Structure 1
Amino acid sequence: MEEILKHDELSIEKSRPGRRGIRFAAVQKHAAQYLPAQYLRSAAPRLPELGEFETVRHFTRLSQLNYCLDGQFYPLGSCTMKYNPKAYDALSALPGFTQAHPFAPESAVQGTLEMLYRLQELLKEVTGLAAFTLQPAAGAQGELTGILTARAYHDARKDFKRTEVIVPDTAHGTNPATANMAGYTVVNIQSAPDGCVDKEALKNALSERTAVVMLTVPNTVGLFEKDIREIADMVHKAGALFYMDGANFNALIGAAKPADFGADLMHLNLHKTFAAPHGGGGPGSGPVGAAAHVAPFLPKPMVELKNGKYTLSGKMPKSLGKMKAFFGNIAVCLRGYCYLRQFDGRTLKEVAENAVLNANYVRAALKGRFNAYFDAVCMHECVLSLNPAEMNGVHASDVAKRLLDYGFYAPTIYFPLIVPEAMMIEPTETESKEMLDAFISAMEKIYAEIQSEPQTVKDAPHGQCVSRIDEVSAARQPNLRW
C-alpha cells in the first residue's frame, strides 16, 4: 500500500523547480498594455512544475485508478450502466452537430432538426404515445416536465382541487421530490408483500384531490406491476392521470408499449435505456411522452415537418411553455436516435429479453448464498438482501467494498429503502455470460470468506489506492482541501 500511495502523490508533490514541458515567452510585460496594473499578478502562481513525460504518466496513472465501463463490469442497479457504442460517440461529435449555434436559423440546422423529428417519431412508435418533447436534459427534469404537464391539463379543466400526487414506496426516489417541487402534496403508499402496488392501499388513497399517480415500471425492486392495467383503470376512474416513470424501459422496449398499459404521461432516460450511460453525473436526456388528450400541454416548441422542411412549432396555445433553454441535450438525443435506428422491432425485443434474462441468471445463480428479497422472477435487476446476523456480522457495504478487490465495481446498496441491507444488481442486456459468470464467481468467493474469515470482508478493500476510511469521522470532519 505504501508503494502505491508513494506512486500516487499529488502533482504538486511531484513538482520540481524549473521543470517544463513547453516554454512560452514571458507575457507579463505585454499584459500591462491591456490590463490595469492592479489586476496583474505580483508573483507567479504556485502550479506544479513537471516535464511532459511526468505529466502524461501522472494523469494516465490517475485514469487507471478509476473504475470505468470500458474496463470493468458495472452491476449498478437502477442506473443501467450498459455499453455505449463508440460509433455513437463519433457520430455525436460530427462538426455539423457540435458546432451548430443555439440561435442558428432553422435553415442552417435542418440536419439537426430532422434527427430530432425522427427521434420523436421513433419514441412514439416504441411507446405507443401520441407526442414527445425532447427538451428535458435529465430524467428528473423529465419527471418535473411530466408533472407540470399534468398540472396544466387539470388547470385547463379548472380542476383546481387536485392537489395530491400518489407515489408508491417502490418508486424512484426522485418521484416524491418532483411532486413536491411541483407544489403537490405527496401521498406515499406502501407496497404489498409481493413487492408490487397494494391495490387496496391505492384505492384508499385515491380521491377527488388526486392529480397524478406516479408508478415506476418496472419498479425499484425489479418487478413488473402485474396489475398495471387494473391500476390504470382505478386512476382514471378517480379522474387522475397515470404517470409512468420509464427510466427502466430497457426491460420493456420492443416487448410492450406503455400506452397499452393506460399511461397518460411518461419519461424515458435516453442516457440509460438508449445507450448513453450517465456515469459521473452526466450527460442526461429525459424526453417526455403523452397520450393524445394530454399532448397539447407538453412544452413548446416541438419539431414539425411542414412542406418538406423541419421547423420548431411555437403554436401550442395550451402548452406549459419552455422547460429548458434552446432544445434539449442534442448529443444524447443523437446517441438515442442512432440506437433506435440500429434495431428493428424484433431486435429491440431481444434487448428487453436479454436484460431480463441476465438479471434472473444472476439472481438464480446466487440463490442460497445471497437471496433476492422478493423470491420471484425479476425484470431488469435483482435486489438481494443480507441478514448480518446470519453472515457473521457482514453488511452489504462490506460485500460492496470487497467486490472492488475482485475487479468489479460495487452494486447499488441500501436502495430501495424497503429492502434491508439491499444490494441492487443490474447486469444490463449488453454483458456476456462469461462476464456474468466471473461476477457470480467473485460473489461466491466473498460468501465463502464470510463463512471462514469474515474480517477479511469487513476490512475490505485491500488492494485499492485508498483503503477503508472512518466514514463517521469523514462525515463529521471532512478534509476538503490539500
Structure 2
Amino acid sequence: MTQNLTALSQNDDFLTRHIGPDESQTAAMLHTVGASSLDDLIQQTVPASILRGEMPLPAPQSETATLNRLRTIAAKNQVARSFIGAGYHGTITPPVILRNVLENPGWYTAYTPYQPEIAQGRLEVLLNFQQMVIDLTGLELANASLLDEATAAAEAMAMCKRSARKNKSNVFFIDNSCHSQTVAVLKTRALPLGLEIVVGDAETELASTPCFGVLLQYPATDGSVKALTTISAQAKAQDAMTVVAADIMSLILLTPPGEQGADIVVGSAQRFGVPMGFGGPHAAFFATRESFKRSIPGRIIGVSIDSRGNQALRMAMQTREQHIRREKATSNICTSQALLAIMAVFYAIYHGPEGLKTIALRINRMTGIFAAGLSQLGYTTNTAFFDTVSVNTGDASTSIADRAEAALLNLRRGTQQLGVSFDETTTTDDIEQLWQIFAGDKPLPSVSALDQSLGNMPGIPASLERKSSYLSHPVFHQYRSETEMLRYMNRLERKDIALNHSMIALGSCTMKLNATTEMIPISWPEFSNIHPFAPRSQVTGYLQLIDELEQQLMACTGYDKFSMQPNAGSQGEYAGLLAIKRYHESRGDAARDICLIPSSAHGTNPASAAMAGMRVVIVGCDQLGNVDIADLRQKAERHADQLSALMVTYPSTHGVFEEGIREICDITHQYGGQVYVDGANMNALVGLAAPGEFGADVSHLNLHKTFCIPHGGGGPGMGPIGVKAHLAPFLPSHPVFPVEGLDPQNDTVSGATYGSASILPISWAYISLMGGTGLKKATEIAILSANYIATRLHEHYPVLYTGRNGRVAHECIIDLRPLKESTGISEEDIAKRLMDYGFHAPTMSFPVPGTLMIEPTESESKMEIDRFCDAMIHIRREVGRVESGQLPADNNPLVNAPHTLADIVADWDRPYSREEGSFPVANLREGKYWPTVNRIDNVYGDRNLICSCPPIESYMAD
C-alpha cells in the first residue's frame, strides 16, 4: 500500500490521546449497548429537534503546533516590572512547589474532598492553610479558601447582615481606602439584596452613619497604615460588625486585625507563592470569631475520628452548603480555590515564620529606602506604610507614569498621585530605575547610604508592630530543606486518589483528561507574571487569546457573546441572572423577579437566584425525571407579569435528554421570561446541540468540566457566561480595566476583569487540539461510555432515569434504595467499599437521595471502565451475601469499608478473610491503593468542631 503524508501524520493526532476507547474498543462497546454505530446511538439518544450542523471551528491541531502558536500569542505580552499593587503582587514560587504541586497531576487532578478517607493528604494541607490564616489574622476560625479578595469581602458583607440580627440597618459602610475592584464587587452584590453601600471616610463619618457592617483596608489601598481599634469600637457601639481586608504579607509585621477588634478578616493569599496570572486563580482567605462558626461561608476542614478512634480530617458542617440548603445556604460548594490555597500554605511551610519575616522585612525595607530617596528628590509620600507609597506628583503624574511605562515599569496611576508597591521580587536595581524616572536631571540618592541610615521596619508605627507569635505549630518548622519538603508533599499526595491513579466517575463533575500539553503554558512568565491592571498595550497576547477562546466557545454553544469574568460556575450563574435582571430593567420590567427552577436542579441554582434578588418558584418533574411541562406552563402563566427567568439544566440533572426542551424554552419566552440553561452538562452537547440554538438566552460553562481545566482538589474553576445578542450589553465589566464595548459601570462579579485568566490557555489549547470534529467525537464517546456502564450495570442495579429508547446522556443514576430496604446496605457503604477497589465513589445521593450518579467521560478507556463495572458488580455480589444471610448485616466488607493497612495487620475477628477485605479482585495486586484512615465519624466532627491543627503528637501512630 502506498503511504502518504496524511497517513504518516496520524502519530501526532491528539484526538487519539484524549479519547480513551480506540476504534476496536468503541465497536465492542457499541455492540454491548445495541447500537450499530455512534451515529445510530446519537439518533437514539438526542432529540432530533435539537441536533445541529457542523461547528465553525478549525481542524484539529497537533500538540507541537498548538504549543508553538501559544508561544507566538504569549510573546505579544510584555512582562513588565509591576509596582501597581492593589492586591496583586509579584512573588517567587519555590521551584519545589512549582514542579511538585502546580505542575503535578497528583495535586491538580484531584476532586473536592467529599470522600475524606481518600483525601487525607489535601485535607491536611487545607487544615494547615486554616491554621496559617488563624495565626496571621489573630482570629479563632478560618475557612479553607474563597475565590478572591473582592468576593470574600462580599461574602463578609452577607455574613454581617445574617449575623447582626438586632441591627435593622441596610447600610454597609466601605471606607474610601479600599481597593476599587472590591468596592465594585460589593456594590454589585448589595443591590439585588436590597442593601445600601455608603463609601466614605470611616474615621470621620462612621459614627454618624448607622450601618450593620464596615469594611476597612489594612494597609489602605494607597499604602498608608492606620490603627483599626477606634473604628472597630465605633462599629461595635452601633451593633455593627467590622470587616478588614488585609494584606497577608503585612500581617507578619503588623498587629493583626483580630487583636484590634475586627470581627472578620479577608484577603488574598496570592503573594504567598502564587503568580499574578493576569488576575487569577488565587486563594482568598476568610477568618472570623468562633461565635460565628455557623455563619462562616465556604468550606471548613475539621478534625474528627475514624471508626477505630484515630484522628481523621473531613469537611465540617456540610449542611450549610448549597447542594443541601439551596437558597438558604451560607456556604457555596463552588467558591473554593483549593489548589492555590495548597500552594500558599506550602510556601509558608517551606519558608517558615523566620523565612516569611525575612521576606516581609526585606519588602518593607525596600519601600523605606525608596520613600527616603523620593524625599531627597523633593517628593512627599505617606509616612506610615508597609510596602506601598503614594507619591504626590501633581500635574506631572501622567508624564512620570508614561516614562515609567516606556521603561516597562508599571506604576498605579492617579490624577495627582502615583502608587508604587514593592514585593519579594523587587531589587535595588528596580529602586534606582524608579528614582531615575522621578528624578529627571537630579542626582540619584544612594541605596546603601539610605539602607544604613534607616531604622528597623521603616514606615511601620511602633504602636502597630506585631508582638504576638504566629505559625508556631511544628508543621511550619519541620520542612526547611528541599529534601524534607519534597518528601512531605509526596507523602501527602500518596494519601489521595486523583486522576493519575484511577477513573473518578463523578456524575455532574466531568473528571476527564487534563492533558499535559494544555497545562504547560500556565507556567510561562508571559502568562503567569502579568498584573491584572497592566496597561492594555502590554497584554495584547492575553486579549488575543481571550478573544479567540470567546470565538471558540461561541462556536460550541451558539451564543453571540461571552464574558470570561466569572471565576467559578456559581459566579457564572450569578452573572448570567444579573444580565437577565438588567435586561428586564432596561425595558421597564423591573417587576420581573420570579425565577422558575425545576425540582431536579443543581443546588446552586436556587441559591444563585436568591443572590440575584429573585423569588424562586419550583417546577415539578414527572416520574421519568423530566420537567413537568404542564406544571411549567401553569406557573409561567400564573406569574406572567413577574416572570424573569427559567433555570434548567440540559441534559437534565437526572442524566437524560428531555424531548421537550424547545417547548420549555418557548413557554418561558411566551410569558416574558428568559431561559438560563445551566452548562454543567455541556460535555453531552458540544458538537451535537447548542443551547444558543435551541432556545436558551444565557448559559455558564464550567471550563473545569467540559473544557479540561482541572478541578485542583476543589478549585480553580472558571464559569464564563455566553449570551444571545440582546443580553450582551449587560455582561460584567470592571472599573479599573474595563471590557471594551461595555459600560464600565456594569456589574462586577470578580476582582479581575477576566477572572482566573492564567488558566484560560488550557481551554484554548483543548479546543485547538480537538477541533470541531474532535469535540463532537468526544461528546459521542462520553454518551457511549455512560450507556455502556448503564447497560453493564442494569442487571445488578436499577438505572433510575432513562430517556427515549432507554438511553441515558453522559451520566446515569443507579438506584440503591431497594438494596438499603432489603439489606441495610446504604449508598455510603458502597461508596466507601469502592475505595478498597482503588476507586473514588461516584456522586452520592445527588440529585436523588440513596443513589449514585456515574459519569465516565470520554477520556476513560474501555479497560478502565470495565474495571469499574467489575468492581460494582463484585460489590453487588457482596451485598447479595448480606441479603442471603451469609454475612451479618453489621459486620461485612461493606459496612467496615474502607479497609486500611492497620486493619490487615491487626487482630482479625471478622466473618470474611483479610484478602476479601483488602484484595477483593485480583487486579488490585498490581498496585493497591490503601486508604490511610477508616470510615470517618461525621457527627463527631460536627459536635466537636476543631478547625485548626492539632498538636503534632496526635499525628503519630500509637
Superposition TM-score tier, normalisation by shorter sequence: 0.7 to 0.9
TM-score, structure 1 as length reference: 0.87
1:385 maps to which of 799, 804, 815 = 815
User: In structure 2, do the counterparts of structure 1 residues 445 and 102 end up closer, same or farther at CA, with 3 Å as the change threshold?
Assistant: same
Instruction: Verify the 8 A CA contact 1:296 1:318 in the aligned structure 2.
Output: no
Distance in structure 1 (CA, Å) of the matches to 2:466 and 2:939: 43
User: In structure 2, do the counterparts of structure 1 residues 204 and 87 end up closer, same or farther at CA, with 3 Å as the change threshold?
Assistant: same
**1:422 alignment partner in structure 2:** 851
Does residue 95 in structure 1 map to residue 562 in structure 2?
A: no
Does residue 459 in structure 1 map to residue 908 in structure 2?
A: no
Instruction: Verify the 8 A CA contact 2:353 2:470 in the aligned structure 1.
Output: no
User: In structure 2, do the counterparts of structure 1 residues 409 and 391 end up closer, same or farther at CA, with 3 Å as the change threshold?
Assistant: farther
Measure how far apart 1:374 and its partner are.
1.5
User: In structure 2, do the counterparts of structure 1 residues 213 and 319 end up closer, same or farther at CA, with 3 Å as the change threshold?
Assistant: farther
Measure how far apart 1:344 and its partner are.
2.0
CA deviations 1:319-373 (Å, max 9, x no partner) are 7333223222112221111111112222111111011111111111011212211
CA deviations 1:96-145 (Å, max 9, x no partner) are 01111112111111111100011111111111111111111011100000
Q: Which moved more, 1:176-185 or 1:453-462?
A: 453-462
Q: How does 1:176-325 map to 2 (within 5 A)?
A: 176-206=606-636, 207-300=640-733, 313-317=739-743, 320-325=746-751
Does residue 352 in structure 1 map to residue 783 in structure 2?
A: no
Helix, strand or coil for the counterpart of 1:97?
helix
Distance in structure 2 (CA, Å) of the matches to 1:155 and 1:475: 44
Amino acid aligned to 2:808: C
Instruction: Verify the 8 A CA contact 1:180 1:186 in the aligned structure 2.
Output: yes
**2:828 alignment partner in structure 1:** 397
Instruction: Verify the 8 A CA contact 2:594 2:617 in the aligned structure 1.
Output: yes
**1:7 alignment partner in structure 2:** none
Distance in structure 2 (CA, Å) of the matches to 1:44 and 1:125: 50
**1:407 alignment partner in structure 2:** 838
Instruction: Verify the 8 A CA contact 1:297 1:318 in the aligned structure 2.
Output: no
Amino acid aligned to 2:667: M
Instruction: Verify the 8 A CA contact 1:152 1:320 in the aligned structure 2.
Output: no
1:158 maps to which of 576, 588, 592 = 588
2:944 maps to which of 459, 477, 482 = 477
Measure how far apart 1:385 and its partner are.
1.0
Instruction: Verify the 8 A CA contact 1:165 1:185 in the aligned structure 2.
Output: yes
Instruction: Verify the 8 A CA contact 1:249 1:273 in the aligned structure 2.
Output: yes
Amino acid aligned to 2:893: T
**1:448 alignment partner in structure 2:** 877
**1:306 alignment partner in structure 2:** none
Distance in structure 2 (CA, Å) of the matches to 1:42 and 1:204: 63
User: In structure 2, do the counterparts of structure 1 residues 229 and 22 end up closer, same or farther at CA, with 3 Å as the change threshold?
Assistant: closer
Instruction: Verify the 8 A CA contact 1:271 1:277 in the aligned structure 2.
Output: yes
CA deviations 1:167-211 (Å, max 9, x no partner) are 001211101000011111100112111111100110111022110
Measure how far apart 1:300 and its partner are.
2.7
Q: How many residues align?
A: 454
Q: Which has the larger radius of gyration?
A: 2
Measure how far apart 1:41 and its partner are.
7.8
Distance in structure 2 (CA, Å) of the matches to 1:197 and 1:172: 14
Q: Which moved more, 1:287-296 or 1:425-434?
A: 287-296
User: In structure 2, do the counterparts of structure 1 residues 377 and 298 end up closer, same or farther at CA, with 3 Å as the change threshold?
Assistant: same
1:328 maps to which of 739, 755, 759 = 755
Where does the alignment leave 5 or more consecutive residues of structure 1 unmatched? 1-9, 13-20, 303-310
Measure how far apart 1:50 and its partner are.
6.4
Distance in structure 1 (CA, Å) of the matches to 2:682 and 2:471: 54
Distance in structure 2 (CA, Å) of the matches to 1:467 and 1:427: 26
Helix, strand or coil for the counterpart of 1:447?
helix
Distance in structure 2 (CA, Å) of the matches to 1:23 and 1:212: 51
Q: Which moved more, 1:241-250 or 1:338-347?
A: 338-347
User: In structure 2, do the counterparts of structure 1 residues 422 and 45 end up closer, same or farther at CA, with 3 Å as the change threshold?
Assistant: closer
Does residue 110 in structure 1 map to residue 540 in structure 2?
A: yes
CA deviations 1:240-281 (Å, max 9, x no partner) are 101111111011001111122111111111111000122422
Helix, strand or coil for the counterpart of 2:722?
strand
Amino acid aligned to 1:428: T
User: In structure 2, do the counterparts of structure 1 residues 368 and 237 end up closer, same or farther at CA, with 3 Å as the change threshold?
Assistant: same
Helix, strand or coil for the counterpart of 1:371?
coil
Measure how far apart 1:312 and its partner are.
5.9
Distance in structure 2 (CA, Å) of the matches to 1:381 and 1:467: 29
2:792 maps to which of 357, 365, 368 = 365
Amino acid aligned to 1:438: R
Amino acid aligned to 1:395: S
Measure how far apart 1:288 and its partner are.
0.7
Amino acid aligned to 1:372: V
Distance in structure 2 (CA, Å) of the matches to 1:160 and 1:336: 37
Instruction: Verify the 8 A CA contact 1:412 1:425 in the aligned structure 2.
Output: yes
Helix, strand or coil for the counterpart of 2:726?
coil
User: In structure 2, do the counterparts of structure 1 residues 158 and 22 end up closer, same or farther at CA, with 3 Å as the change threshold?
Assistant: closer
> What value does the CA root-mean-square deviation take over the aligned residues?
3.0
Distance in structure 2 (CA, Å) of the matches to 1:284 and 1:98: 17
Distance in structure 2 (CA, Å) of the matches to 1:88 and 1:174: 29
Helix, strand or coil for the counterpart of 1:383?
strand
User: In structure 2, do the counterparts of structure 1 residues 296 and 105 end up closer, same or farther at CA, with 3 Å as the change threshold?
Assistant: same
**Identity among equivalent pairs (%):** 39
Higher helix proportion:
2
Distance in structure 2 (CA, Å) of the matches to 1:379 and 1:91: 33
1:78 maps to which of 478, 484, 508 = 508
Instruction: Verify the 8 A CA contact 1:356 1:380 in the aligned structure 2.
Output: yes
Measure how far apart 1:54 and its partner are.
5.1
User: In structure 2, do the counterparts of structure 1 residues 478 and 110 end up closer, same or farther at CA, with 3 Å as the change threshold?
Assistant: same
